[in-house]
Structure 1
Amino acid sequence: MAVEYEARRAREGQAMSDGARDPAEDVKAASRPDGNRWLGLLRTPLGGCAAALLLLVLLLAVFAPLLWSGRADAIDTDRILQGPSGRHWMGTDNLGRDVLFRVLVATRLSVALALLATALGVVTGLVLGVAPTLLGRRVGRLVTAMVNVAVAFPGLLLALFFAVVFGLGAKGAVLAIGFAMAPGFARLAQTLVASVSERDYVHAARVAGVGKARVLARHVLPNISEPLIVNATISAGGALLAFSGLSFLGLGVQPPSYDWGRLLGEGLGGIYTHPAAALAPGVAVVIAGLAFNLTGEAVAKAVGVPTAHRSRPLRPDGPPAAHRAPVATPDTHAPGKEPVLSVEDLRVTFPGPRGPVTAVRGIGFHVGQGEAVGVVGESGSGKSLTALAVSRLVEHPGAVDAGRLEFLGTSLLAGAEHGAATRRLLGTSLAMVFQDPTASFNPTMRIGRQLAEVAEQHLRTGRREALSRAVERLREVRMPAAERRAAQYPHEFSGGMRQRAMIALGLMCRPKLIIADEPTTALDVTVQRQVLGLLDRVRAADDVALLLISHDIDVVAQTCDRVLVMYAGRIVEELPSDRLLTAARHPYTRALIASVPHMETELDRPLAVVPGRPVIPDQVPAGCAFAARCAFAQDRCRTDEPHLEVSAPGHRVSCWNPQTDGVALDDERPAASTGEEGERP
């Protein structure tokens, strides 16, 4: 099978080099998103009014100084402080200058300074918002604390404080308003970055060894740009009002220059005798501010603004490894194969309201070269968390500790956490296939570019060569029309195609280990079989080790060489897959098997379920965690925790009362229940 697979791959690669189109050309030719939603927005009352007002303000800012600067600056001492007339619609000021023309000409300076202050606020806030991601935990916490303190103060108070610090004039006012706006944008950016950073495609980029700055620029910032643009547009109106306020108080624009705030301050002295001189710049401020705010609201309706919640990071204080008894892990990987992954006494801890919570409690296993190991268990048993810990994707406040955690002979523990060699090893030799293919790809990047990024980062290939390699990998996973698909976005793929693309992403650098975290959960039976067959072909062709996590015990039994059964953060049984359905000894494993329907299941009876409810990680009882749900539990099971003991060659079980009879079927299975209380795996 491996020879045939390699031959087919060589033929396809030769065909591509001889006559296939360059994928870079397909990427360039890909269609742009259509503007239907923007055209529809312009037809709404909100969108039409916002566009008209903003266009009016921008046209005045561009053309008013060119058309009317001379008339605005013309002094006429014979017409000082006159009221509205046919010649001067808004009257004149204390030097006989036309108020209306001065208001129109002041549009450019007023709008330009407001936009400049907004840009300064957005850039400064964005830098502060991404600082925790780039600078590490300690500096990030300090920056976050400073932002939290600044947000607690009213924006106007901050603006006045900075205006005094930077001094009088337009420059000082721009700095004051910009820095006063920055904390709000920093808080927004922190929240958005924190939400996007937990997406699967960001985790995949980190597994690939992409640096923090590149992950931020390529995968995080493009996906938070829309809410930032919306808030920046709305804030421009506030900046315009704030700038006019500073100029009105004499802290902003200084003579001979003038903006709306300056004109408002000059006209306020005669408001009872000559109100038009004060009302004209005030109306201009209202109209311009309304234009920016309505535009922001319209853009928000068109693109949608995602919300995010950010939790305060805590540092867990888990027990040190030196005070724990080491967990022995026998060498159970495939005979004659070197271990690709070695795990001993792995623990993953998170802070909880009543102290640290250990979600993975001292597990150990090995995966040999070319071996397929399955991990099964109910939701919350620690399967996915184990995969994330092995891939070094558990971030603060989570803490990963182990007696041994080695991948291809290299330690993955905290001591080598930031080594470039370790990142390169993980990026080239470990592939992660996540459960949800929709969330596993960056929605703002084409599939081909996302695959090519891995080759560019680790293989140091050029852009064109990386894209060609991406198309080749898509062909290997039997993606139809691979060149065209490489130029498409993830939302244009079906679920099965996205999962194939995820596997192609993992194959970009010829990995030694593929961790597949429930890769077939969201797929129908036909596509599930195709994806599993694809993983098996890849494993056989390149002698790749596979760690398959699944709820489906039948899938694991048919696909893997060995099976690890997890419950409450521990491995309760390990055995060869060909003995899983006939020789399982732990009551929990038997209950899982009993809960899977088969062709002989009676249709008029309720489906069997595992009785009771899974253990909550912060409420693990003493003794065996499964005792409360086990029909064979004894007093010892509720007081003493069992350890994995070898019961047969390649078979380990953690149980004080393991079952030795054959696995029962249907109603003979003692550990399963047909009641409504319980949970299916």
Structure 2
Amino acid sequence: MRRWMRVLRTPLGLTATLLTVGVLVMAVIAPILWTDDADAIDTSNILAPPSSEHWAGTDNLGRDIFYRTLVATRLSVELALSATVIAVVVGLVLGTASFLLGRRAGRFVNAGINIAVAFPGILLALFFAVIFGVGATGAVLAIGMAGAPAFGRLTQTLVAGIASRDFVAAARVAGVGRFRSLFRHVLPNIAEPLVVNATISAGSALLAFAGLSFLGLGVQQPKYDWGRLLYDGISSIYVNPWAALVPGTAVIVAGLAFNLFGESVAKALGVGVVGGIPELPSVSAHLEDVAPVDASRRPAEDVDDVVLDVRNLRVTFPGPRGPIRPVRGISFAVRRGEAVGVVGESGSGKSLTALAVSRLVDDSGRVEADRLDLLGTDLRAADSKAQRQLLGTSMAMVFQDPMTSFNPTQRMGGQLAESARHHQGLSKKDALSRAVDRLRSVRITEPEKRAHQYPHEFSGGMRQRAMIGMGLMGTPALIVADEPTTALDVTVQQQVLDLLASIREADDVALILISHDVTVVGEVCDRVLVMYAGRIVEDLPAGELSAAQHPYTRALMAAVPDMHTDLDEPLAVIPGRPVDPSDVPQGCAYAARCPLASARCRTEEPALVDGVACWHAGEPIDIEVVDRELEEVEAS
């Protein structure tokens, strides 16, 4: 309310509001008060100039032009709003097609939208007017369909931005279907800009409708709107110019009122008028052969306590120069109560591996594996209710950005309770009670009060703990924590890690902890997987990190400062840059940065043998060679 009052205090906001209210009030009262005066025929006073009796003169039947203009307000506004509703509804259907149907099916709709918005709106309106026929109904449909592509493109852009947020991904993990996610999570977060643009579109529809009626394609006699009055008045403009000027002025004032009101709404809601959308990439791709995986390191099939069993996992995306493979055949297993850390530089495939396991890879991506089992259930099978039930109750995802992990338009308790209602069949009251209990279990004070607050009312650490609590709404056997301490201070980081450790010990829950900080992983986890360029290059117990065999793992360890780091010397870094997933070199991907690289490393990719994928595993590294490489990198 205070935002609205601030807008009304501005000259633009006050003027727009008064104009819009005036037009709407006139649309209601004018036909009631002046219809008889507007329809009264006076053949003795045909085409009379303006006078005290007829302020704008009369038409070719002696009818009062001023009263007819006032009475025409209702039909003009009704038709404009009807066309706007059609444009909004059809635009919403078109704009949400990619989200509901998937990118592969939705790209055909998107292509149609992109073609349609390339044409001027008036041309589309004329095209549809020919299809739907002459008259008010045909004009409403024509203008509505002509405005739909632009609104669809706007919706498409906004939906794409929200669909990539973590709270939508969390809803998918919880088993919430696309249709329900659209109405519960996506549309509420884009409602404000859509309302703003719909308001402005009403003004544009009013002007377009007047244009069609002026061309003789809109309202037909004996009915009349402003465009029809303008059409009739233009024939006598040299005898009585007011016959055209008065309805023309009404069109301008009403159109200006709606447009200015839309701008005022935008300022009140704090949003802008949005338009435009980038072209979607192609999704055609195929997989090629990947590097062999050492069978001796594959997880055993007959181990009863295996929670997650992954073999030769590959993820491929389409690219402009061919398929891109960020994950190139990795295998690992996680057992009950075990904590496995995944470390590596950005772009090594850590998070994408977690998303692939959770079935959250974008529709354009292709996930394949020789084996991908969660609690004995094959996750490679087609999506089903049973599979969503399993993922929603037995796997918990903790995303790295807690602010985007929750829907900002919904209260925290309701968001936590959603999965319990959906998967466990609890009533709204019972689900909310369990949500309060889960908030309490993750050490959030005053959980009853916090359950009725919004995400922005939580601190960063509280949001992260609440995200963990959301995962505990079911009975998870596996928690996947993707950088759970990102952007948190050291004290809160330790609290989150301690919380994950206590949950793991209390309920024998398996944990996959993804992090850039190899020392944190070494302290929290039992086993560490080191990833580089989409492959696991070393798999070793956390206690043996200081004796790592792979040069990349040793470089990661050396790059972490400790209490014995010489402050007078430059910090250790890994020379060169990580490999681009779209251009992985032949042989060992780390060879270009490795001080032990030989000719064999640049031609043959090593398999993972005895936990290490390296031709020179364990060989000593010449520090002078490393220093020389660093100097060359700095010089370049």
Same fold (TM over 0.5): yes
Q: Which residue of 1 aligns with 2:494?
A: 529
Distance 1:448 1:308, change over 3 A: farther
**Counterpart of 1:394 in 2: which secondary structure?**
coil
Q: Does 1:421 align with 2:382?
A: no
Q: Does 1:348 align with 2:307?
A: no
Measured against aligned partners, the alpha-carbon deviations of 1:218-250 in whole angstroms (never above 9, x if no partner) come to: 111111222221221111111101111121222
**Aligned AA (1:412):** L
Structure 1 contact 591–669 (Cα < 8 Å) conserved: no
Structure 1 contact 234–292 (Cα < 8 Å) conserved: yes
Note the C-alpha offset of 1:605: 2.0
Q: Which residue of 1 aligns with 2:514?
A: 549
Q: Which residue of 1 aligns with 2:569?
A: 605
Measured against aligned partners, the alpha-carbon deviations of 1:92-123 in whole angstroms (never above 9, x if no partner) come to: 12222221111111111101110110011110
Q: Which of 507, 518, 539 is the matching residue for 2:504?
A: 539
Q: Which residue of 1 aligns with 2:348?
A: 381
Note the C-alpha offset of 1:147: 2.4
Q: Which residue of 1 aligns with 2:365?
A: 398
Separation in structure 2 between the aligned mates of residue 404 and residue 201 of structure 1, nearest angstrom: 28
Q: Which residue of 2 aligns with 1:658?
A: 617
Note the C-alpha offset of 1:326: 5.5
Structure 2 contact 318–324 (Cα < 8 Å) conserved: yes
Structure 1 contact 326–345 (Cα < 8 Å) conserved: yes
Q: Output aligned runs, 1:578-597, within 5 Å.
A: 578-581=543-546, 583-597=547-561
Deviates most, 165-174 or 484-493: 165-174
**Counterpart of 2:295 in 1: which secondary structure?**
coil
Deviates most, 51-60 or 375-384: 51-60
**Counterpart of 2:50 in 1: which secondary structure?**
coil
* Cα RMSD after superposing both structures: 2.3
Q: Which of 283, 306, 312 is the matching residue for 1:315?
A: 283
Distance 1:420 1:334, change over 3 A: closer
Note the C-alpha offset of 1:404: 1.1
Deviates most, 228-237 or 583-592: 228-237
Distance 1:53 1:156, change over 3 A: same
**Aligned AA (1:559):** V
Separation in structure 2 between the aligned mates of residue 566 and residue 669 of structure 1, nearest angstrom: 24
Q: Which residue of 2 aligns with 1:515?
A: 480
Q: Does 1:617 align with 2:581?
A: yes
**Aligned AA (1:365):** F
**Aligned AA (1:657):** H
Q: Does 1:100 align with 2:66?
A: yes
Note the C-alpha offset of 1:332: 5.9
Structure 2 contact 153–276 (Cα < 8 Å) conserved: no
Q: Does 1:244 align with 2:210?
A: yes
Measured against aligned partners, the alpha-carbon deviations of 1:236-283 in whole angstroms (never above 9, x if no partner) come to: 111101111121222211222211011111111110110111100000
TM-score normalised by L of structure 2: 0.95
Structure 2 contact 104–363 (Cα < 8 Å) conserved: no
Q: Which of 513, 526, 529 is the matching residue for 1:564?
A: 529
**Aligned AA (1:563):** V
Measured against aligned partners, the alpha-carbon deviations of 1:382-440 in whole angstroms (never above 9, x if no partner) come to: 11111111111112321111111111111112xx2322211111111111110100111
Separation in structure 2 between the aligned mates of residue 419 and residue 251 of structure 1, nearest angstrom: 51
Q: Which residue of 1 aligns with 2:232?
A: 266
Distance 1:137 1:613, change over 3 A: closer
Aligned length: 632
Q: Which of 292, 306, 314 is the matching residue for 1:339?
A: 306
Q: Which residue of 2 aligns with 1:451?
A: 416
Q: Which of 92, 95, 120 is the matching residue for 1:154?
A: 120
Separation in structure 1 between the aligned mates of residue 463 and residue 578 of structure 2, nearest angstrom: 32
Separation in structure 1 between the aligned mates of residue 146 and residue 10 of structure 2, nearest angstrom: 34
Q: Does 1:61 align with 2:27?
A: yes
**Aligned AA (2:573):** V
Note the C-alpha offset of 1:168: 2.5
**Aligned AA (1:201):** F
Note the C-alpha offset of 1:336: 7.3
Q: Which residue of 2 aligns with 1:117?
A: 83
Q: Which of 505, 510, 518 is the matching residue for 2:470?
A: 505
Q: Which of 135, 138, 143 is the matching residue for 1:169?
A: 135
Structure 2 contact 107–280 (Cα < 8 Å) conserved: no
Measured against aligned partners, the alpha-carbon deviations of 1:626-653 in whole angstroms (never above 9, x if no partner) come to: 111111222211111111111xxxxx11
Distance 1:393 1:336, change over 3 A: closer
**Aligned AA (1:242):** A
Q: Which of 57, 63, 67 is the matching residue for 1:91?
A: 57
Separation in structure 2 between the aligned mates of residue 105 and residue 572 of structure 1, nearest angstrom: 79
Separation in structure 2 between the aligned mates of residue 462 and residue 567 of structure 1, nearest angstrom: 46
Q: Which residue of 2 aligns with 1:626?
A: 590
**Aligned AA (2:559):** S
Structure 1 contact 611–672 (Cα < 8 Å) conserved: no
Q: Which of 458, 463, 469 is the matching residue for 2:428?
A: 463
Q: Which of 79, 92, 103 is the matching residue for 1:126?
A: 92
Q: Which residue of 2 aligns with 1:363?
A: 330
Distance 1:468 1:539, change over 3 A: same
Structure 2 contact 316–366 (Cα < 8 Å) conserved: yes
**Aligned AA (2:516):** H
Q: Which residue of 2 aligns with 1:52?
A: 18
Structure 1 contact 431–507 (Cα < 8 Å) conserved: yes
Distance 1:411 1:235, change over 3 A: same
Deviates most, 441-450 or 333-342: 333-342
**Aligned AA (1:543):** D
**Counterpart of 1:202 in 2: which secondary structure?**
helix
Separation in structure 2 between the aligned mates of residue 674 and residue 638 of structure 1, nearest angstrom: 20
Separation in structure 1 between the aligned mates of residue 508 and residue 632 of structure 2, nearest angstrom: 44
Q: Output aligned runs, 1:172-321, within 5 Å.
A: 172-302=138-268, 303-305=270-272, 309-319=277-287
**Aligned AA (1:518):** E
Separation in structure 1 between the aligned mates of residue 8 and residue 137 of structure 2, nearest angstrom: 36
Separation in structure 1 between the aligned mates of residue 500 and residue 301 of structure 2, nearest angstrom: 18
TM-score normalised by L of structure 1: 0.89
Separation in structure 2 between the aligned mates of residue 332 and residue 669 of structure 1, nearest angstrom: 38
Separation in structure 2 between the aligned mates of residue 57 and residue 174 of structure 1, nearest angstrom: 20
Separation in structure 2 between the aligned mates of residue 307 and residue 145 of structure 1, nearest angstrom: 16
Structure 1 contact 195–309 (Cα < 8 Å) conserved: no
Separation in structure 2 between the aligned mates of residue 623 and residue 567 of structure 1, nearest angstrom: 13
**Counterpart of 1:373 in 2: which secondary structure?**
strand
Distance 1:145 1:355, change over 3 A: same
Structure 1 contact 435–519 (Cα < 8 Å) conserved: yes
Note the C-alpha offset of 1:333: 8.7
Separation in structure 1 between the aligned mates of residue 523 and residue 299 of structure 2, nearest angstrom: 19
**Aligned AA (2:157):** T
**Aligned AA (1:575):** L
**Aligned AA (1:313):** P
Distance 1:355 1:208, change over 3 A: same
Q: Does 1:442 align with 2:401?
A: no
Residue segments in structure 1 that go unaligned for 5+ positions in a row = 1-34, 647-651
Separation in structure 2 between the aligned mates of residue 558 and residue 565 of structure 1, nearest angstrom: 15
Separation in structure 1 between the aligned mates of residue 372 and residue 627 of structure 2, nearest angstrom: 34
Q: Which residue of 1 aligns with 2:375?
A: 408
Note the C-alpha offset of 1:88: 1.5
Distance 1:588 1:324, change over 3 A: closer
Q: Which residue of 2 aligns with 1:476?
A: 441
Separation in structure 2 between the aligned mates of residue 455 and residue 188 of structure 1, nearest angstrom: 34
